[in-house]
Amino acid sequence: MNYTELGQEILSLVGGRDNVSGLTHCATRLRFNLRDEGKAQTEKLKETPGVLGVVQSGGQYQVIIGNDVNHVYKPIMAICKLDEGDARAQNGEKKGWGSRLIDTITGIFTPVLPAITAAGMLKAVLALCTAFGWLTAADSTYQVLNFMADAAFYFLPVLLANSAAKKFGCNPYIAMLLGGMLLHPNFIAMVTAAKETGEGVSFLGLPVYAASYSSSVIPAILIVLAQSYIEPVADRISPKAIKFFTKPLITALVAGLLGLLVLGPVGYIVATWIADGINALNTYAGWLVPLILGAFFPLMVMTGTHYGIIPIGINNRMTTG
């Protein structure tokens, strides 16, 4: 199969590059954000060789490809030039808040899933090695593989910051810098010392919440969302002659301090509440969660709403292990 030709054909049938405001993919589907779904030729798409079906749901126009979806996705992205994403362009679309929420979650979490999958499979390999007695936790080989697997989870705020920046339409490298601030060894040491001594961390007299943000989900996303609003302001107020220096300075300083003082703590507390709620549900009605997921998951995959479960699962791993 010629994936480039298939991608071009699909792009033409969804209304062309000018009708596409966003595109992601999951394991089997191309998930388009179309400016006008009425321009898409749905029936012709369904009859196109290589296309297994079309679903319109959750604010997305989903073209089902199968396991080869990534090969079709790349040529379409190359034509549309959507690599950096542009949330601002999509904000004008009239969607319900639920559709916008799922679309945002999809756009942020889909790009990082390969890293999480790789880490999970490394953990599975370790589990098999220990089960068959080939390795023990004391072996250096085990420890090397273990930290390789943990890296994706530990540095998750940086990975999410990058994909969130592309979804929110701001600089991904500034975003990764902001995510890195949450994980810097000096900050971790300050938080650890504060917990041990009881002495708080502060900035100009303002308290800095003593939280560990490794493997966290919500704080980095909130900080990058704030960055997407701070960055245009920094661009406007920066003198043209020195904008190259002042724009990133203002963005990183304001968003970084806002993250450490307000948004990071808020995200951490919300994450803890979510984890506590799920744990309580598992404790008092452990049968309910798998029953609900098993019953509704096929429908959730069809509509794209299954992406709403991903941050909850990752968040619980961070808060409860």
Q: How confident is the model at residue 306 (pLDDT cuts 50, 70, 90)?
A: low
| The three-state (H, E, C) secondary structure of 222-286, written as one string | HHHHHHHHHHHHHHHHCCHHHHHHHHHHHHHHHHHHHHHHHHHHHHHHHHHHHHHHHHHHHHHCC
- Shared domain for 31 and 69, answered yes or no, is yes
* Region 87-96 average pLDDT: 49
Q: How confident is the model at residue 315 (pLDDT cuts 50, 70, 90)?
A: low
Tell me, what CATH number does 71's domain have? 3.30.1360.60
Greatest alpha-carbon span in the chain: 67
- Shared domain for 51 and 169, answered yes or no, is no
Q: Tell me if 142 is assigned to some domain.
A: yes
Q: Would you state the pLDDT for residue 198?
A: 77
Q: Would you state the pLDDT for residue 308?
A: 60
93: left (phi over 0), alpha (psi -120 to 50) or beta: beta
CA distance 90 to 108: 14
* Region 109-136 average pLDDT: 86
Q: Tell me if 101 is assigned to some domain.
A: no
Q: Looking at the annotation, which residues are catalytic?
A: 26
Mean confidence (pLDDT) of the chain? 82
Q: Would you state the pLDDT for residue 173?
A: 94
- Shared domain for 142 and 13, answered yes or no, is no
The tokens describing 55, both together, are 């679903």
Domains in the chain, number: 2
Per-residue pLDDT at 88 exceeds 80: no
- Shared domain for 174 and 276, answered yes or no, is yes
Domain with 197, as residue range(s), is: 113-320
Rounded percentage of the chain residues whose pLDDT exceeds 90: 18
Q: Would you state the pLDDT for residue 92?
A: 45
> b vs e for 260-271, b when ≥16 Cβ sit within 10 Å of the residue's Cβ?
bbebbbebbeeb
Q: Would you state the pLDDT for residue 229?
A: 94
Q: In this predicted structure, which of 59-68, 161-170, 258-267 has the lowest mean pLDDT?
A: 59-68
Say which residues have a Cβ less than 8 Å from residue 7's Cβ, sequence separation at least 6.
72, 73, 74, 75, 76, 79
- Shared domain for 220 and 118, answered yes or no, is yes
Per-residue pLDDT at 59 exceeds 50: yes
Q: Tell me if 102 is assigned to some domain.
A: no
Per-residue pLDDT at 86 exceeds 60: no
Helix/strand/coil for 13: helix
Per-residue pLDDT at 49 exceeds 70: yes
Q: Would you state the pLDDT for residue 31?
A: 86
- Shared domain for 76 and 151, answered yes or no, is no
Most confidently predicted of 76-90, 131-145, 283-297: 131-145
Q: Tell me if 249 is assigned to some domain.
A: yes
Per-residue pLDDT at 85 exceeds 50: no
* pTM for the predicted model, two decimal places: 0.68
- Shared domain for 229 and 309, answered yes or no, is yes
Per-residue pLDDT at 134 exceeds 50: yes
pLDDT tens digits along 198-256:
787 888 888 888 888 888 888 999 999 999 999 999 989 988 888 888 999 999 999 99
Q: Would you state the pLDDT for residue 175?
A: 94
Q: Would you state the pLDDT for residue 87?
A: 44
Q: In this predicted structure, which of 131-135, 139-143, 276-280 has the lowest mean pLDDT?
A: 276-280
Q: Tell me if 105 is assigned to some domain.
A: no
* Region 182-186 average pLDDT: 90
| Count of C-beta atoms within a 10 Å radius of residue 165 | 28
Per-residue pLDDT at 90 exceeds 70: no
Q: Would you state the pLDDT for residue 107?
A: 77
Per-residue pLDDT at 184 exceeds 80: yes
CA distance 127 to 132: 9
- Shared domain for 27 and 147, answered yes or no, is no
Per-residue pLDDT at 178 exceeds 90: yes
CA distance 306 to 118: 20
Q: Which contiguous run of DSSP H or E holds residue 34?
A: strand 29-34
Q: Would you state the pLDDT for residue 69?
A: 84
Q: Would you state the pLDDT for residue 96?
A: 59
Q: Which residue has the higher pLDDT, 188 or 199?
A: 188
